[in-house]
A and B are shown apart, each in its own frame.
Chain A
Amino acid sequence: MLAEATPDITRTEPGLESLMVGYQQADAAAAAGLIRQVSPKLYRFLAGHSATRAWADDLLQECWLRIHRSRHTYRPGEPVLPWIYAIARHTRIDGFRRRRRIESHELAVERLPEPASPSHSRAAVPARDLSRFIDELPESQRDVLFMMKVSGMSLQEVAGATGSTIGAVKQKAHRAYEKLRQKLAETRPTGAAR
């Protein structure tokens, strides 16, 4: 039996658009509403490959700082999520480079870091949770699948957020589907019925 579908709150695009327009007009309630609505999934998106929760927290703050500084580049009437995720992707890429630079300069650490965010969430979610499987994909495929299946963005929107073409997004998604099929087959209990 197939799983029941649940509504995805971030797909209420008109809501996000009006919040974003309010944010541009310095409406405090709209800004707070946008932050509360988008931040949880943005946090999950940024935390995917982060080493520690503290790093993911920093990335989210950095991402909102960039969103705040570039809020004039959002054009009313256009979808909000591709705009936000494009900024988030760059924040994560820059954060990754920064972390690599820091790590290459640090030869020793006093103690091991706090457990990474993904494993933190893994304990709390069901074994077949989508985000857990997505985390095991290569980064480009993970981004595409996260945006499509967790944030509910269309192929066009994902193409915008990733700065690529719809064909390239489709190709990445299809490769990810194939990898997920393999992973699901590996995790399937032996003797499961066809």
Chain B
Amino acid sequence: MTCRQIDALLDEGRNRPASALPRAAADHLSACQRCRGLFELLEGPSTQFSLPPAVGAGIEKMVLRSLQPVSPMPSHWVFLLSFLGVFAVGILLGSTLVGAGGLQRMAAPPFLALSAILLAGGVLLSCSLSRQLTPGARHQMTPLLLAPLILAAFVVVAAVGLPWRWSSRFWVWGPACAGFGLLWSLLAALPLVWLARRGAVLRPAAAGASAGLLAGLVGAAVIHLGCLNVTAPHAALWHAAVPLTAALAGLLLGSHSRRRA
């Protein structure tokens, strides 16, 4: 057995008696002074820490004075399904309103690739946001990494997959398209904020950015389906601006709520 394998044993838990160790580990510990010292230190009896009695009493008094029953938040599955529901219904209603002209104009590969990014982004963000509502919930991917990844993937695929044609109406169509996307994002953000209002106590700014980005993806998906301008500069700038702006707005809102708290 090697020192690294002893490390792996130490990962498994604490207060493991020496007698419970595998034979190979016990042999290694008796031969390797470095590992023996570490094992004794980490698996030895833990110190009982003392708390100043006045501090403990003060905390008890503070807590008991304002003790009221609270209803625990629902399971994260409830939040996950709710966020996915808002995402799906938002896109469905939006595309009903603006139609699916982009679907007919865009070539199948970039359309499918962009749709996959929007869909995957929506699902991943819903998962992440539902976990951010509870302190101590495990994350498969840190929310601060997820948001830039989704945005970057969208911009790259739009820039690579769509034709590079400059239109004379670039500055006219663009803001109108992004404006509609942002308006739709705002509508999607309202139920998201309402759903997330009781959670996200630890990182409201990150949760705000995630909720904003999720709402922004709804807006981006609606204009992705409906927009007749299927050129790379338009999609990479104006369509991508929708989730980016929504995420920044969510970030600011979250930071503001944190400062107020």
Contact = CB atoms under 8 A, between A and B. Distances in A.
A163 B62 contact: no
A8 B33 contact: no
A38 to B, nearest CB: 10
Contact of B7 (A2, A81, A177): A177
A8 B55 contact: no
Interface stretch (B44-52, B181-189, B249-257): B44-52
Contacts of A81: 136
B15 A7 contact: yes
A188 B37 contact: yes
Contact of A72 (B43, B60, B75, B198): B198
Interface string A137-160: 000000001001110101111011
Interface stretch (B65-73, B86-94, B108-116, B169-177): B65-73
Contacts of A149: 14, 42-43, 46
Interface string B63-101: 110111111110110000000000000000000000000
B43 A75 contact: no
B260 interface: no
Contacts of A44: 49
Interface of B: 3-4, 7, 10-11, 13-18, 29, 33-52, 55-56, 58-60, 62-64, 66-73, 75-76, 133-140, 142, 198-199, 201-203
Interface of A: 1-8, 23-26, 28, 31-32, 35-36, 39-41, 43-44, 53, 57, 60-61, 64-66, 68-76, 78-79, 81-87, 90, 121, 125, 128-131, 133, 145, 148-150, 152, 154-157, 159-161, 163-165, 170, 173-174, 177, 180-181, 184-185, 188, 192, 194
